[in-house]
Structure 1
Amino acid sequence: MTIGTQATENGGYLPFRRVLPQILFLSSLFLLNFLSRIIFSPLLPQIERELGFGHTVSGSFFLWISAGYFPSVLFSGFVSARITFKRTIVLSTLAAGSALVILSHCETMNGIRAALFGLGLASGLYLPAALSTITRMVAPSFWGRGIAVHELAPNIGFIIAPLICGVMVEWSTWRHGLEVIGFCLIVMAVLYGLKGRGGKDRGVPLDPAVFRVFLAMPQFWLMILLFSLAICSTMGVYAMLPLLLVTGQGIDADSANRLLSLSRFCTIIMPLPAGWLGDRYGNRQMMVAALLLAGLLTIPIGLLSGVPLLAAVFLQPMVAVCFFPSAFAVLSTLGGRKLGAAAVSLCIPMAFLIGGGVMPTLIGGIGDRFNLGAGFVFAGLAMTTAAVLAAIILRLEVARTMECKEPTNREDTGA
């Protein structure tokens, strides 16, 4: 059977096994893209010690990355509408690699901030273009599998970033390590430009009218709040945990990095039971419960030491990732079938800016003012408070819905 015949029999799509190598190619790009942003977490103790700045500046690394990432994701459609999805992916990967190489040579904080902003700006172009490329290569009945393979990259990135950091510090310097990752991104960009398939279509720019529709929705702002603190419970905690372990608990950097890596292993499988629980008991209830428990487990990270601290470090990320399957399902319903994807596209960049940028900076600021443990307590209390607030609001919505139904039921009974 020829490739053309196979494609025709699958509605114009090749069999999944034939496009799997291309999805894995994209996954490797995504892994490097993600590593370029999170590698600073395990490196912060070394960078902070070498450059001599405080925890606030350390946390602001992620704020500058997020500040570039936010508009880039939001307006990536304008770029892909002009140069196709494939060229957008190549541009994103090439620019991210160049930003890392430049950053590795920066000596001043202004230079580092500019390079971090550029890194976020470059990285943000990748994901919308990559997801659109996958959904155009893969038959709709296999979208779940294709995206699931692609989304393995960030989970693997969380695990291997501390291990790569350990190799950097042992065999060279953090600057040389960033340079190597940057050159790997540049090489992969060239390879994808030459060998990558698909992505010949063009994107669609963001419609300002859709933006205004969601900005007028109170539920949309509630979801931004919840997603912001959920991202803080994963990315934010991950970003600042090595600093807490090394400077706050006196653990050596190698042990802290190994602990950080091991604590993320179980997060790979946790979304599966979380999705089942959401289907079973309701996605709204599951979303609120996961954020509440994540907050309650973040507080002890800032208060405990020894074995109890280790238990919290392992349990907290396992619970935190359970928020997202149900939360994405709830978020997608805000815009209905037509605008569900737009709700996700608008909410996540804003939430990433707050949860992955502002919150780590606040944790670092509290660490400079008091101690890093207090910063984690603050973050945990914020998550818990938001979850309780959401539970109250959702309960009121249910009560209001029931009140609206009762008059209708009475009218039907009277009739």
Structure 2
Amino acid sequence: MFTSLAPRWRLVLLLAMAAALNYADRAAFSSVLPPLRAELGLSDTALGLMGSLFLWSYALASPVAGILADRYSRRMLVLVSLAAWSAVTLATGAAGGVLSLALLRIGLGVAESLYLPAATALLADHHDTTTRGRAMGLHSIGLNCGVVVGGAFAGYSAQHFGWRTGFVVLGLAGILLAVLARNGIVDAVKPAGAIHAARPTAGAALRYLMRVRSFYVLLLKTMLAGFTIWIFLSWLPLYFNEAFHMTLGAAGFAGTFMLQISTMLGIAGGGWISDRVARRSPRGRMLVLGLSYVCAAPFLLIFLQRPGFAAVIFAVSAFSFLRGLGEASEKPALCDVVPACFRSTALGLMNTCATAAGGVGVLLAGILKRGWGLESVFAGSAAIFIFAGVWLFIGYRSFMAGDIARARAFEAQPA
């Protein structure tokens, strides 16, 4: 079945598998916070700092990763990143103390930063506007599936075999995939006479992006979303453990499954909606994204009532599904307003902003947890999503059409 797929869809499948491991390795840490706290004697603030170290190192390295993916082989960067972060994950299973664990979290951030700019641009290289939403949607499903698998597996392994076991298994799986995927992940053949066949400099990429107003819209949106989503990814498993006295395995599963399975279902439908909307007008992708955020936000207000488990399941699932419907349009929208030769740089900058904001969110949630409680932190995220939705609507009305036309004109220039 795998060999019968067209090469561009075979690429999507392999990148989705790599994406699943990418997020599984980072999600595993959140599911083993209780035994980590007990073994290493960490406070809630220190746990938040450990999560932030990964995000901040990822953020600092992402611009460089984007520049590299615009200048060199995107295929090679994907494979190197996959092998490197898997090796770091494997080593995490042997961490001997707080310092070594902190250094490994930083190393994981640097290694994983190479992946998304190269992989997303590689998908855009192989898929035009008629299939780009679905291709990137399937890739995003892999990312979200990885959060569920990584969180649940690490929590179960920690409960039955110790917290280190999950990291060892996930690390070995990534190294094996890096070896098996070498022939299926390929660079796209670029037209010889097109301007995007050349290797752009970082300065040229930044000069172009500074003039793309839609890029600023997406940049702020990704910061607001990253701030909020990383709070949920990092603290929801511990919330279930403490609020409902769930086991580590159950809390790791519940804290990731509800958040991510609904997002995956939303993305699956959202990718199809995104491509349908783009056939009429590519700028419609930003409208879909903004509407989904505004509709999703109110469901988080249920946390103000200190809800029961069933209510949390409903609210988080509805929020995640609606967010996923729009999220499938984010990266295709970026690819519509940025020429192919600058896309990885743009994606690297977006990753920087999202993860840097996420690191602040994770640390701030750890600080506020004692005084306010996680319920108030989760509920406050609703206001952030409503603001992001309104901001996206402004970008749709004011900037998107002109930026799309400018990107197409730029790509039509001779080298």
TM-score range, shorter chain: 0.7 to 0.9
2:373 is the alignment partner of 1:361: no
How far apart, CA to CA, are the structure 2 residues paired with 1:102 and 1:113?
12
C-alpha distance in 2, partners of 1:86/1:338?
15
Q: Is the radius of gyration larger for structure 1 or structure 2?
A: 1
- 1:338-357 matched pairs, under 5 angstroms: 341=343, 344-357=346-359
Is the 8 Å Cα contact of residues 66 and 346 (structure 2) preserved in structure 1? Answer: no
**Cα distance per residue 1:47-68 (max 9 Å; x no partner):** 2333232333323333222223
Please state how far the C-alpha of 1:198 moved relative to its aligned partner: 2.7
- 2:311 is aligned to 308
Gaps of 5+ in 2: 190-196, 403-415
SS of structure 2 residue aligned to 1:265: helix
Give the letter aligned to residue 160 of structure 1: V
1:275-316 CA distances to partner (integer Å, 9 max, x unpaired)? 638939954444333223333223323642213223212222
Counterpart residue number, 2:373: 371
Contiguous gaps of at least 5 residues in structure 1:
1-13, 402-415
Alpha-carbon distance between aligned partners in 2 of 1:312 and 1:123, rounded to the nearest angstrom? 31
CA contact (8 A) 2:55 2:358 kept: yes
Query: Match for 2:267 among 271, 276, 287?
Result: 271
Q: Structure 1 residue 37 and structure 2 residue 26: aligned? A: yes
Q: Which residue of 2 aligns with 1:73?
A: 62
Q: What is the CA distance between 1:219 and its match in structure 2? A: 5.1
Partner of 1:3: none
Superposition deviation, residue 164 in structure 1: 0.8
1:119-138 pair list within 5 angstroms: 119-133=108-122
The alignment status of 1:243 with 2:238, answered yes or no, reads yes
Tell me the residue number matched to 1:154. 143
Tell me the TM-score normalized by structure 2. 0.76
Task: Note if contact 1:249-1:305 (Cα within 8 Å) is conserved in structure 2.
Answer: no
Structure 2 residue corresponding to 1:27, chosen from 16, 33, 39: 16
Distance 1:73 1:359 in 2: 18
Q: Does 1:185 align with 2:188?
A: no
Within 1, Cα distance between the matches of 2:368 and 2:333?
33
1:108 pairs with 2:103: no
CA–CA distance in structure 1, aligned partners of residues 340 and 72 of structure 2: 25
Percentage identity across aligned positions? 20
In the TM superposition, what whole-angstrom CA distance separates every residue of 1:113-145 from its partner, at most 9, and x where no partner exists? Answer: 221111011112123333455566679976666
Distance 1:394 1:24 in 2: 32
Cα RMSD for the two superposed structures: 3.8
Please tell me whether the aligned partners of residues 270 and 325 of structure 2 are also in contact (alpha carbons under 8 angstroms): yes
Kindly indicate whether the alpha-carbon contact (under 8 Å) linking 1:97 and 1:183 is maintained by their aligned counterparts in 2.
yes
Does the 8 Å CA contact 1:85/1:200 hold for their aligned counterparts? Answer: no
8 Å CA contact retained: 2:294, 2:386: yes
CA–CA separation in structure 2 for the residues paired with 1:214 and 1:65: 27
What amino acid does structure 2 have at the position aligned with 1:356?
Answer: G
Distance in 1 of aligned mates of 2:164 and 2:130 = 44
Aligned counterparts of 1:197 and 1:343: Cα–Cα separation in 2: 20
State the AA in 2 paired with 1:109: V
Q: How many residues are aligned here?
A: 383
